[in-house]
Every structure is written in C-alpha cells, then in structure tokens.
Amino acid sequence: MDSLTGLMAFVRTADLGSFVAAGRVLGLSASAVGKAVTKLEQQLAIRLFQRSTRSLRLTEEGRAFHERCRRILDDLDDARAMLARTIEVPRGRLRISTPIVSYHLLLPVLPEFMTRYPEIEIDLDFNDRIIDLIDEGADVAIRSGVLPDSRLMARSLRPFQMLLCAAPAYLERHGTPACPRDLDRHLGVRFRYPNSGKVQPWPLTLPAGEPELRTRTVLTCNNMEALRGATIAGLGIGCLPDFLAREPLANGTLRTLLDDRIDGPGQFSLIWPSNRNLSPKVRVFVDFVGDRLFAARCESPADAYRAF
C-alpha cells in the first residue's frame, strides 16, 4: 500500500496546493505527507513539485502525472462504491420509458422482478415519443433502431421481424398479392413515427431499378396497437412486428403476405445514462430484463402462427 499512499499524498497535495491542507484531508501530518511525496519522487526518479519556502507548484512532468493519477484514484473510488452497492438492497422508484407496443414483452416478466425486488417501485411511461433520458429524468428505457447518443449505455434485447399482414376479409375483397408489384392495387394502413413524422417504409425487396410501390394509403397513425386493430378490421394491409402479430396470426384474424420478399429485422435495446455510479435499482433491472428478454434470433412468420 506504500505506492497507493504516495499517490494519494501526491494527488491531494496537487489538488489543495500544500502538504498541510493535504494532511488534513488524509488524516496525516504535513511532514508525513511531504515524506510520502518525496519517496514517490525517488521511486519515479523525477521531481513532481518545485518547492520554495513560500510556494509549492507542479513541474511539467508533475502536471501530466497528476492527470493520470487523478483518473486512477477516481476509478478506485468507483470500484469501492461498486463493491459497497453489492450489499445494498435495491430500493426506490425506477422510472422506465418504453414504447407502447413493448408492453407485450415487458409486462409478462415484471411480476417476477417485483417479487424479487419488493422495495423497488416501478414507474412505467408507455410512450412512442423518443425522450431524452437525462433531461427528463428517466432511469432506463427500451428503444429500437439506431442509438446514436454517446451519453447512453446499451444492452441488446430481443430481435424482431416486421411482417406484412392483412385480414382474411380484406383479402377476399381485394385478392392476395403474389408479388410486391401487386401491392399497387391494394390499400395500405401505415405507421407514422411520432418524433420525425415520417411514414414507416414497408420492408420489401424490389428488383433494382423498379419504381416505388403505389399502394394507396387509407389510414395513417402513430400507434402500432391502433395499426394492428385497423388491419384486423380489414381496412388495408399493415406492417407489424412479429410479437404484435403473433396472436392474431395464431387465431386466424390475420395472415402474412409475401414472406419471401420481406427483409425487416429489428432490434430492441435497453438503454440508460452512462453515469459513473450505476444505482442498485438500475443495475438489477438491466441484468434481470437483459436476461429475460434476450433472444438469439427473430421469429419467422411460421413461428408467429404458433399460439402462446
């Protein structure tokens, strides 16, 4: 521990500007702090401070060394705090922001989590609007798509597949498309992203140079549950994630279309602010949900037909 004592004496002296002030913080005498710093200089074979009877200032080498040592001691403090948190009981309100549609995935696993951690109060914000976790005080969120914010940590959750679906009654009236080009004669129910206002494109592969589809949109909404309801009601063809389409596919109220021409993989992620000290309630939630909601592959349309 002599090396660590010397580093702490050096960093505190550089921070506070004197051996006396550093000694007060470290609970040592000014003489002991000075001796520890001198011993460190001897071990390094370099002078860290320029000393005079009235001042103490870092050398150029001392300034560079101080920056590195400060980071080392900060990491050590974090490691100590992490060990201390392992014996704490996770407690308090946990604010979770998640898309409305994700309740199909999240709610089934919450009872076990709440039984395991009874002192955590779950505050769920089901909202398709992409919020700023840091500005709005959310502890953790579930998101899909690209996560560009470098202030956030992320863990991959369940991959999913977008499926093109229609109700049997709709197909009886309009026919079943045999290829993407047939969709030019059909009606579409489309999803609009709440944040950007852009309409979600259908994940269809078209031959190079072929013009865009001319499917007529009859309804646009910014809620995937409403889009599923409109599709089941036979208003048009809709594009749904596999987990949302699974039950109506299983009971026959929806059918998938053009399965061999769909290329729509997606990925859910669990994200949280990249604070140096992760609170126990966030840590246990990230670990629990990351374990329960991780799957190695998307469902195929055939999987989606199977009942729960």
Q: For the chain, what are the domain ranges?
A: 2-85, 106-308
Cβ contacts of residue 176 below 8 Å, gap of 6+? 257
Residue 150: per-residue pLDDT: 58
Residues in Cβ contact with 200 at an 8 Å cutoff, skipping those fewer than 6 apart = 190, 191, 192, 193, 239
Tens digits of per-residue pLDDT, 95-139? 998 888 787 888 888 999 999 999 999 998 887 777 677 667 788
pLDDT at 305: 43
The span from the CA of 250 to the CA of 306, in Å, is: 6
Q: Is the pLDDT of residue 301 over 50?
A: no
pLDDT at residue 250, rounded to an integer: 94
**Res 165 pLDDT > 90:** yes
**Tokens standing for 272?**
């949280």
- Here the tokens at position 58 are 């870092």
CA 238, distance to chain mean position in Å, is 28
Domain 2-85 belongs in CATH node 1.10.357.10: no
Predicted local confidence at residue 104, as pLDDT? 82
CB–CB of 299/244 below 8 Å?
no
Contact 119, 90 (CB under 8 A): yes
- 106-308 has which fold? D-Maltodextrin-Binding Protein; domain 2 (3.40.190)
The whole-number pLDDT of residue 240 equals: 93
Closest-CA residue to 6 (of 67, 54, 66, 51): 66
- Residue 308's pLDDT band, with cuts at 50, 70 and 90, is very low
**Predicted local confidence at residue 300, as pLDDT:** 44
Give the pLDDT mean for 193-220: 86
Angle 2-16/30-44 helices, nearest 10 degrees?
A: 110
The mean predicted confidence, pLDDT, of the chain is: 84
Length of the chain: 308
pLDDT digits (tens, 9 = 90+) for 33-45: 989 999 989 999 9
Supply the pLDDT for residue 217: 94
Rg (the chain; Cα; Å) = 29
